[in-house]
Amino acid sequence: MNLLYGWVMLIVFLIALIIGIWQAYDSYYMFEHTLDASILRYKPDPANAGVDADSPITDEMVGWITIDDTSIDYPVMQGEDNTRFLSTDPFGKYSLTGSIFLDSRCSSDFSDDYSVIYGHHMDYGKLFGSLDDFLNEQYLKNHRTGTLIVGKDARKVYKLEVFASMRVSSREKIVFNMDSKRIREFISQNAQAAADSDNKNKRIIALATCAGANSTMKTVVFCTISE
């Protein structure tokens, strides 16, 4: 009986060890295959008519978003639907970490009154993992500026100004159904952190990511877009 118990415990230990090793490998794999600073070599240069012709980023790139003094400095992709870039990187290759991407219902030139950009919530602030920092009002107020370059040819450059953040259900229709008529009122009533901003007559871009791996909530940061 004691021998059988010993074997059972050994098997349980081995199974737990294998699971632990797999989880460690999975985390390592995800970290190593997330976009890093090397992507910046392909950032469009408005002074030189965009990116080099041999850039490996696909033509599904519609822009490049930067929030100053943060880790957010990435190409913005857009697919025919919102599943395309959940597991596809900017080079068109399969990747569990995916890409930063514009909602497929939005105009690719960011001319809509309200647009939403998505990205996975990654550790160490990669992709949109750093959006959580904006839930702290002081942090938000100290990191308000950014730029949005439109197109691979950098045909337009906009200024971004961060003005609010919140946690919201991923099923929230006003935030994720492009209901621009009510979005300003919703932000005003539900912002967790906010800074003074005259956004009444400016277009708004929302940056959204999951609040956690198993969460049904999303962290959303709102910016105005202007010439």
Query: Which two tokens mark 117?
Result: 């950009």
Query: Which two tokens mark 100?
Result: 């930063």
Q: What is the CA radius of gyration of the chain?
A: 20
pLDDT band at 82 (very low <50, low <70, confident <90, very high): very high
Residues 203-218 pLDDT 10s: 999 999 998 767 789 9
In this predicted structure, what is the pLDDT of residue 125? 73
Task: Report residue 218: phi and psi, to 5°.
Answer: -125, 145
Q: Residue 115, Cβ neighbours under 10 Å: how many?
A: 25
For the chain, which residues make up each domain, given as ranges? 37-226
Residue-by-residue DSSP string for 28-52? HHHHHTS--GGGGGG--BGGGTBS-
Residues 14-55 pLDDT 10s: 564 444 344 433 443 444 444 677 898 899 888 776 666 678
Average pLDDT over residues 54-63: 91
Write out the CATH class of domain 37-226.
Answer: mainly beta
| Residue of 143 and 3 predicted with greater confidence | 143
Answer whether residue 2 shows pLDDT above 90.
Answer: no
| Rounded Cα gap, residues 84 and 35, in angstroms | 17
Q: Look over the chain and give the mean of its residue pLDDT values, rounded to a whole number.
A: 85
SS3 132: helix
Residues 113-167 pLDDT 10s: 999 999 999 877 788 999 999 999 999 999 999 999 999 889 999 999 999 999 9
pTM of the model: 0.83
Instruction: List all residues 6 or more positions away from 132 whose beta carbon is below 8 Å from its beta carbon.
Output: 121, 211, 219
CA atoms within 13 Å, Cβ hemisphere of 225? 24
| Rounded Cα gap, residues 186 and 5, in angstroms | 60
